[in-house]
Amino acid sequence: MIYFDHAATTPVRPEVVAVIQESLIEDYGNPSSTYALGRRTRQHIDQARRIFASSVKADPADIIITSCGTESNNTAIIPTALALEGKGKHLITSATEHHAVLHPMHYLEELGFEVTYLSVDDTGRVTLQSVMDAVREDTILVSLMYANNEVGSINPIAEIGSFLAEKNILFHTDAVQAFGSETIDVRQQHIDLLSVSAHKINGPKGIGFLYRKNSLHLPNFIHGGSQENDHRGGTENTPYIRGFAKAIALMEIEREESNRKKRGLGNYFLSELEKSGVPFECNGVYPEGVPHILNLWLPGMRSDKMLIQCDLKGIMLAAGSACTAGSLEPSHVLEAMYGKGNPRATESLRISFGPDNTTDEADTLISLLKSIHNKQYKNG
Ligand SMILES: Cc1ncc(COP(=O)(O)O)c(C=O)c1O
């Protein structure tokens, strides 16, 4: 089995599993209870919150622990727009966002908001100029992803943040794919809302956080008990919260080395693929994007057929993003970058590395791609 789909999700680290297991057994007290068992669980959550906050240079009071990246994005966008509609009903996002941003935007359109979907160039990035051109008097929120989940391109977050701060327009970024490899500083980058998910950094699925400045006084998305500083009802998932904190602590220690390994393997892959004679082009701006994502156009080779061949050999990777991989829809990201009907949208593969992938694994995938290519070529 060869796993090249780390942008979809990552294996949970054994150290994280150990913390979760310990917490499942020991932290059964409800953190809202005032007796010792509850108080101890609360302390564990407070400690994790400090780790979440420091990972993006934020204040712990500005962290809302959520159930996933999708919930973080929904919380960042929907109640914010509803609260500010008196000020304006215009929102800005980009055409290449994850569905966890695009679908809340579509929902708001149904409620009468107007959304501008910025186009991207063939690097997959939006430009500061395009944001400047799109901003209007009634713009209340801009949501742009930090790094794209299909091609890995990184948006100019700090420049856009600084411009929007001057204009007094709220800025959200979906940092789910960037959090593992990039150093994020919400203050320096003028980010008001930022979404993160644990399962992309070797934590468990089903836990994430949203950085949201308390001083913004934005309304809740999930209504219920007074958990999360009264911002999100629901008894806390202490084991996963602690597991997520452990994953972040490990990530921060190993980030540089892990980035180096992933980038090294990506470079190796490209040079060996070139030697193999399989025609290809990179989609996006390799090596300028996040180091784990390599997206390749293999002209004439259909993504869905390649995925089946890879699966038969135990190689796991993706064409579009994981959430749409079950369907044969062309990638909305590649279409936005290269135009509708461009063969890249249906003839590309996303290979996403983890630090433990090896050059042998890369060689196995390359020889499979070579044999698919040769067969196809022979069959005309
Ligand atoms: C850019 C991006 N945003 C949001 C999400 C959704 O995160 P989660 O799976 O934790 O809901 C993903 C996951 O694929 C993603 O890649």
What residue segments make up the domains of the chain, in order of their start? Answer: 2-8+255-374, 14-249
Q: 197 — phi, psi (to 5°)?
A: -135, 140
What's the CATH code, domain 14-249? 3.40.640.10
Two structure tokens written together for 172: 């959200």
> What pLDDT, on a 0 to 100 scale, did the predictor assign at position 327?
60
> What pLDDT, on a 0 to 100 scale, did the predictor assign at position 380?
55
User: Which residues have a Cβ under 8 Å from the Cβ of 217 and sit 6 or more positions away?
Assistant: none
Which is the closest atom of ligand 1 to the Cα of 70? 11
Which residue's CA is the closest to the ligand 1 atom numbered 5?
69
Q: Which residues are catalytic?
A: 323
Helix (H) or strand (E) holding 281: strand 281-282
> What pLDDT, on a 0 to 100 scale, did the predictor assign at position 285?
87
Give burial (CB, 10 Å; 0-12/13-18/19+) of 76.
buried
**Could you tell me the distance, in angstroms and rounded to a whole number, from the CA of residue 199 to the centre of ligand 1?**
9
Cα gap 56→351, rounded to integer Å: 27
Which residue's CA is the closest to the ligand 1 atom numbered 8?
69
CA distances to 12, 244, 364, 365, 372 from 314, rounded to whole Å, are 20, 29, 10, 10, 15
Bridging pattern class, strands 281-282 and 348-352: unpaired
Which residue's CA is the closest to the ligand 1 atom numbered 14?
8
| Per-block mean pLDDT, blocks of 10 residues, the chain (380 long) | 97 98 97 97 98 98 98 98 98 98 98 98 96 98 98 98 98 98 98 98 98 94 95 97 98 98 98 97 94 97 94 93 61 95 95 98 98 80
User: Which residues have a Cβ under 8 Å from the Cβ of 66 and sit 6 or more positions away?
Assistant: 72, 75, 207, 208, 209, 210, 232
Which is the closest atom of ligand 1 to the Cα of 100? 4
CB atoms within 10 A of CB 341: 9
User: Which residues have a Cβ under 8 Å from the Cβ of 252 and sit 6 or more positions away?
Assistant: 55
Query: Residues lining ligand 1, CB < 6 A?
Result: 68-70, 98, 100, 145, 149, 174, 176-177, 197, 199, 208, 321-322
Residues facing residue 173 across a β-bridge: 194
Which residue's CA is the closest to the ligand 1 atom numbered 16?
149
> What pLDDT, on a 0 to 100 scale, did the predictor assign at position 379?
64
Cα gap 343→35, rounded to integer Å: 62
Helix (H) or strand (E) holding 141: strand 139-143
> What pLDDT, on a 0 to 100 scale, did the predictor assign at position 165?
98
**Could you tell me the distance, in angstroms and rounded to a whole number, from the CA of residue 106 to the centre of ligand 1?**
17
CB–CB of 334/342 below 8 Å?
A: yes
CATH number for 2-8+255-374 (one of 3.30.43.10, 3.40.50.300, 3.90.1150.10, 3.40.50.920): it is 3.90.1150.10
Euclidean distance between the first and the last CA atom of the chain, given in angstroms as a whole number:
31
